[in-house]
Amino acid sequence: MAVNVRSRTGTRERIHDAGLTLFNERGYTGTTVRELADAVDLTPGAIYNHYPSKESLLFAIIDRVHDEADTILSETLRGVGNDPVAQLEALASAFTGFHIARPRETRVANRDYIYLPARERESVVRRRRRVRALFVEVLRDGERRGHFCFAELGSEDAVQAASMAILNMVVLVAEWFDPARSRSAAETAALHGRLALRIARSGR
């Protein structure tokens, strides 16, 4: 009954999207499956025709955005040469664009993954570590080849700290970037690319 014009398929996707919005706004534990159901005009029980549990929806959301992030990162790397300077700038820029384009997805992934059951959480932690390792690798490579400089910072943690500074800059761009007031996303992405080079102290 009710609205029979309901699109047969796509319900799973609509739930996914509502989860994105609600988890983003209220957090995973702050969101109720009844709220989820209201948002997609469904009864709470109907949710379970599409996801076996609330946790599984959270995992679907986080896993997908990690897939997309991996894709962006590896495609960016594929489209740029061997030069660590170009690699770092392209990576920081592209990843910034990604985070501006997907603020809900990335916020939920970064904030709420701790609520995943152990198995899934560990899988996510592993994927996050791989992204960190990619940036560290590029930084180390660039240092070895004389394009970046961390020695003068006088700390063994310098490369890690620098890569985390870059990653945090990129990952949290959506906390301040305002499509209404800020310059274009592309310009901000380019800006972050250049700031990443500053952090690595490349002469550009």
CB neighbour list of residue 113: distance below 8 Å, 6 or more residues apart: 62, 121, 124, 125, 128
Q: Is the dihedral of CA 189, 193, 198, 203 positive or negative?
A: negative
Applying the rule CB under 7 A, the residues between 42 and 61 that interact with DNA are 42-50, 52-55
Select from 101, 114, 137, 141 the one that contacts a copy of itself (CB under 8 A).
Answer: 114
Query: Quick one: DSSP state of residue 173?
Result: G
Angle (CA) 120 125 130, round 5°: 130
- The identity of residue 106, as a single letter, is T
Whose tokens are 């739930």? That residue is 15
Give the range of 10-18, 69-77, 137-145, 152-160 binding a copy of itself by CB under 8 A: 152-160
The site string for a copy of itself over 153-182 (x = CB under 8 A, - otherwise) reads: xxxxxx-xxx-xx--xx--xx-xx-----x
Pick the stretch among 10-18, 48-56, 139-147, 149-157 that binds a copy of itself (CB under 8 A). 149-157
Q: Please report how many Cα atoms fall inside a 13 Å half-sphere around the Cα of residue 39, on the Cβ side.
A: 19
Report if residue 17 touches DNA, rule: CB under 7 A: no
Determine, following the binding rule CB under 7 A, whether residue 16 of this chain makes contact with DNA: no
Residue 163 to residue 18: CA distance in whole angstroms: 33
Establish if 115 lies at the interface with DNA (CB under 7 A): no
The single residue among 18, 20, 22, 33 that binds DNA, judged by CB under 7 A, is 33
Residue closer to a copy of itself by CB (options 60, 165) is 165
146 binds, among a copy of itself, DNA, none (CB under 5 to 8 A by kind): none
Q: Which is nearer to a copy of itself, 119 or 204 (CB)?
A: 204
User: What are the backbone dihedrals phi and psi of residue 54, each rounded to the nearest 5 degrees, phi first?
Assistant: -60, -40
> 10 Å Cβ neighbour count for 143?
19
Rama region for 72: left / alpha / beta (φ>0; ψ in -120 to 50; rest): alpha
Residues in contact with a copy of itself by the rule CB under 8 A: 26-27, 29-30, 111, 114-115, 153-158, 160-162, 164-165, 168-169, 172-173, 175-176, 182-183, 187-188, 190-192, 194-195, 198-199, 201
